[in-house]
Structure 1
Amino acid sequence: MYTMYCKIFKIGSLLVLLGFLGQCKHEKKENLLIKDANKALTVLDSISIGKEFTLYKLPYAYDHTIIFNSRSNKWHLYGIIADNKEFIHLTADSLTQIGWEKQESFRYKGQEIWAPHIIEHKDTYYMYYTSIGEPRQIRYAISKDLYNWEHPQDEPLFAYANEYTDNQKNKDPMVFKNGNQWIMYFSMLKDDKHWVVGYSTSNDLIHWDGPKICFDEQTENPGVESPFVVQRGEYYYLTLSARPTWPHGGQDIFRSKSPFSWKTTDLVKRINPWHAAEIVRDLDGKWYYSRSSGNESDFRMAELFWNDGLDDEETSMPIPNQ
């Protein structure tokens, strides 16, 4: 009888052991699948760019914005130049032409201004930018032709502060439409020293709620400059400048299924060196990645290839109307 119980115990123990090993193998397989999925999501050669070419040479160039005016069939570029108290204004008949034509600069009361971003809504152009002060302010101006600008109000849209600091360093605004809601992304401090990408939301482009945080590395390194977002299908791509360390470095591109949250593990591309990138789409449907750099002394551009299989999906950046 004792021998029989021993055999039963051994068989039972063996079955438990086999079950345990099977469970471990299953969990290991699941972990490997998760790692493979993460690896597939963060592979750094999915997006690629073509050969760089220079749009315009000048002694100093940084954050900029490019937009097409379908009524005049002109491309317009506004960007930071030396002394930071004006935005250079360039125009061109073709997005990719070499040597754009210089127009009258944009200024605001002689103040230091940074990082313009322009969108079109209901036949009106809205320019959002940072006015440097304590605290830094996000302002806007409007135009019907991209040449003549007016400020509808003297007060800034917002100048965020918190319990830790009176100046959250609000800068580099970019406005993005998601359904019926507008989202403004910008670089900011979440307390008195940690940099994040913040966002505010609006239904009318003027009254903004927030701020909230969509990208947080828990770091004091301000490598979250010039945020720019593009939707392609179910994915939202976020590109950031001054990566991985400020002030120099390259661009990181992250991909998420939410326009309100990206993590460092969502990285899909690093382009280095590169700075203050904007994404723009030409009249023939091609995508381009622009670049400005005070060290390089010019505005540059290169064709952008997504390689994500989403070229026929809905996008926040359709081909410009002609």
Structure 2
Amino acid sequence: MTNEIRLNSSTLLNILLFILFMVKGEMLFAQKPEMHYGDLDIPARPYAKDPYVIFFQGKYWMYYSVPGEQFKEWYIGIATSNDLVHWEKQGNIKGQKGTVEEKGICAPGALVKDGVLHLFYQTYGNGKLDAICHAFSTNGVDFERDATNPIFRPKISDWSCGRAIDAEVIAYKNNYFLYYATRDPDYKIQQQGVAIAPITTNFDRNSWTEVPNMPMLKPELIWEKKCIEAASCIQKGQYLYMFYAGAYNNEPQQIGVARSKDGIHWKRLSEEPFLKNGDVGTWNESESGHPNIFKAQDGRYYLFFQGNNDKGKTWYLSKVEIGWNKKGPYLKK
């Protein structure tokens, strides 16, 4: 006896729709990267920007920007991880009332010197007066402010309005280099400058000498539009490599690479972005921005960055692994 299953057109349509739904769901799931971190201080609105990762006291620490519930102030979130994928929030660093930090702080950078973690960050909400501050910690959570804060802003000049944001401080060629972004006097073009301190510095305001003949790097390529910011640097061989963000947020912002032998004069490695924003429908459709290049304890290199697909209503942090060859860095598949 043969059992026959007869399906009418309505049943077939429902089956096809179910299959399509499952396939689409799998595709959307696959589009999310392994690391997809959003701070839940505002529970219904995951929000984390400007990642900076460092290894300190046996684990990985990530400092990043996170807003208050009304988005009237910003502060720095702290999370830790053992695998660079799963992150556990440890707290926030908020701006100190009655100081230049009062309206908020954000865009952290970090380094470890003599067992102490040093944090460099910008003030928020002061327009042309925003500047770079410094704090230090022996446990990664509790920070003591530099008594000379803010430690750096460039002089007002024909190329800069005197603002400084997005600090990156790195030891190179027996000096510390402080890279920063600033606006032109008309407050329209974001570009890069640099200041230098001796290797013996304590990072206070008197340590830094502004390098003349800036900007060091300014937007010139089509995709960079009117903005270069968020420098993140690493030494590889004889070169210092800079990963930077081109274009303002969600234009889309994308990531480029330049390299230098002296830390001051830079050459782009390509006219195309190193890391582009995602395709339509992916988690980072609106941008892949604000890079942080990092070498893990196992010798692998990762590029951390921020992204979203809703023009900034939410923000997530993620990473991609990169490799190196004679031409420089490349994205690993």
1:225 CA displacement? 1.5
- In structure 1, the residue matched to 2:119 is 127
Deviations 1:143-188 (A, max 9, x none): 0111110113153112334145994331100001112200000111
2:191 maps to 1:210: no
- In structure 1, the residue matched to 2:47 is 60
Out of 161, 164, 168, the position equivalent to 1:174 is 168
Correspondence list, 1:4-153, <5 A: 52-58=33-39, 59-69=46-56, 71=57, 73-82=58-67, 83=71, 84-95=73-84, 97-98=85-86, 100-109=87-96, 110-132=102-124, 133=126, 134-153=128-147
1:270 CA displacement? 2.3
Distance 1:143 1:154 in 2: 16
Distance 1:146 1:297 in 2: 24
- In structure 2, the residue matched to 1:302 is 320
Query: Contact 1:136–1:167 at 8 Å: present in 2 too?
Result: no
Deviations 1:180-236 (A, max 9, x none): 200000111354444321000011122111044321347995421111122211222
Query: Contact 2:63–2:76 at 8 Å: present in 1 too?
Result: yes
Residue aligned with 1:147, SS: coil
Q: Structure 1 stretch 280-289 or stretch 259-268: which is displaced more?
A: 259-268
1:254 CA displacement? 1.6
Deviations 1:104-132 (A, max 9, x none): 10112242222100101111111001112
Query: Contact 1:249–1:275 at 8 Å: present in 2 too?
Result: yes
- Bigger share in helix: 1
Q: Structure 1 stretch 198-207 or stretch 231-240: which is displaced more?
A: 231-240
Distance 1:181 1:254 in 2: 20
2:293 maps to 1:279: yes
User: Which one has more relative contact order, counting CA pairs under 8 Å at least 6 apart?
Assistant: 1
1:246 CA displacement? 7.0
- In structure 2, the residue matched to 1:198 is 193
TM (norm. structure 2) is: 0.69
The amino acid of 1:300's aligned partner reads: S
1:64 CA displacement? 1.9
Residue aligned with 1:216, SS: coil
Query: Contact 1:80–1:88 at 8 Å: present in 2 too?
Result: yes
Query: Contact 1:60–1:293 at 8 Å: present in 2 too?
Result: no
Task: Report which of the two structures shows the higher radius of gyration computed on alpha carbons.
Answer: 1
Distance 1:278 1:262 in 2: 18
The amino acid of 1:195's aligned partner reads: Q
- How many residue pairs align between the two structures? 257
Inter-CA distance 125–265: structure 2 relative to 1 (3 Å threshold): closer
The amino acid of 2:153's aligned partner reads: A
Q: Please give the root-mean-square deviation of Cα atoms over the aligned residues, in Å.
A: 2.8
Inter-CA distance 52–253: structure 2 relative to 1 (3 Å threshold): farther
Percent identity over paired residues: 20
Distance 1:246 1:223 in 2: 12
